[in-house]
Amino acid sequence: MISVKAYEELTRDELYRMMRARQDVFVVEQNCVYPDIDDTDLRSTFVLLEENGRHLASLRMFDKDEEKRIMQIGRVLTTVRGKGYGALVLHEGIETAKQKGASKIYIEAQTYAIGFYEREGFRVASDEFLEDGIPHVCMELELRQ
């Protein structure tokens, strides 16, 4: 079941499962030592896909530029691949950004995932750069209200 929650609305178990999944994917699997848990989580909204107490996919979103109504999506992950779970949470994140009045969504995507984001309408908006030793690009999605 997909849910959209602010940080303070997460249950302890939801928070634990999400942070565990983020650690497993972004730190262990990608062999990238960096501070995944950061203060941005405290001001974020999360899209979670869980089933029977199992974390399947998630993302976080937050205001990047309130004045320009730009939201940023990040920490997009799935724990079960090939089932479309990532697309489900991304689509829900886009709909949530629209509901919050965003005019644009910004992401810093790992380059291998460009096609994934392009399927939802994102366009590459920067040259490739390294973040924590992994190639990334900035991508943007203009929203129509």
Question: What was the pLDDT predicted at 93?
Answer: 98
Rg of the chain over Cα atoms, rounded to whole angstroms, equals 14
Average pLDDT over residues 75-99: 96
Q: Label residue 144 by pLDDT band (50, 70, 90).
A: confident
Return the closest-CA partner of residue 14 out of 31, 1, 32, 30: 1
Rounded mean pLDDT, 83-107: 97
- Return mean pLDDT, the chain: 94
Name the token pair of 58: 């998630």
**5-40 pLDDT per residue, tens:** 999 999 999 999 999 999 999 888 888 887 788 999
Q: How many CA atoms lie within 13 A of 143 on its CB side?
A: 21
Return d(Cα 27, Cα 24) in angstroms, integer.
6
Residue 145 pLDDT grade (very low, low, confident, very high; cuts 50, 70, 90): low
User: DSSP characters for 83-145?
Assistant: SSHHHHHHHHHHHHHHHTT-SEEEEEEEGGGHHHHHTTT-EE-S--EEETTEEEEEEEEE---
Q: Which two tokens stand for residue 135?
A: 């190639």
Q: Output the pLDDT for position 33.
A: 81
